[in-house]
Amino acid sequence: MLDYEIKNLKRFEKILGMDEAGRGALAGPLVVAGVIFPANYKNDEINDSKKLTSKQRENLFFKIQEDAIAYEIIELSNFEVDELNPKKASIVGMEKIANLLADKYDVVITDFEKLNLQDKKQINLVKGDTISISVAAASILAKHYRDQVMRKLHLKYPMFSWDKNKGYGTKLHLEGLRKNGVSPFHRLSYKPVKQAIMENNAIK
């Protein structure tokens, strides 16, 4: 049971948990999500998104949205990730969500990212998605949303197997890069993508 809020934050009624998905991927957007649950919310099915199956994440994606007081999901494009770097892009996305929901929460929990927020208490937890239900829920929203984006992109660029690897650097993805060059959705600042650019022309 992810009970950090119940054990440590009883004095706060409105807690915003945030997390991201896709930071290490070679292609596609980085997705950030934020979730605010009712006070003392419990759901034993919610866990770190990486520990759940695709079907479990899909079911919880809709359940979390039903139960949440408020939530937000933001995409940062591969171009923004290249321009900012993955860590800063995550922070920018989280700060956008924190500002969008500013009148709906008292405290922010992040998965270790420190944000530049005015007049809001924040808690930056190491492996927050394994102990905080709010952060874990945000990780599920971000992960499922991003997986759906990558499945749609796969239809246009099947040579990279994004339906299976979701843009991460698997053997099939790297083979696709070597054979076909990069797509408009690859992150050009990432080393395997840079190498593919040197070896091939970009897909038009």
Question: Which residues contribute to the annotated binding site for a divalent metal cation?
Answer: 19-20, 111
Annotated binding site: 19-20, 111
Residues contacting residue 144 through CB under 8 Å, at least 6 positions apart? 49, 57, 58, 60, 61
Q: Which two tokens stand for residue 125?
A: 């937890």
Residues 6+ apart with CB under 8 A from 82: 187, 188, 189
Rounded to whole angstroms, the Cα distance separating 40 from 45 reads 15
- Reference 47, options 58, 57, 34, 33; nearest CA is 57
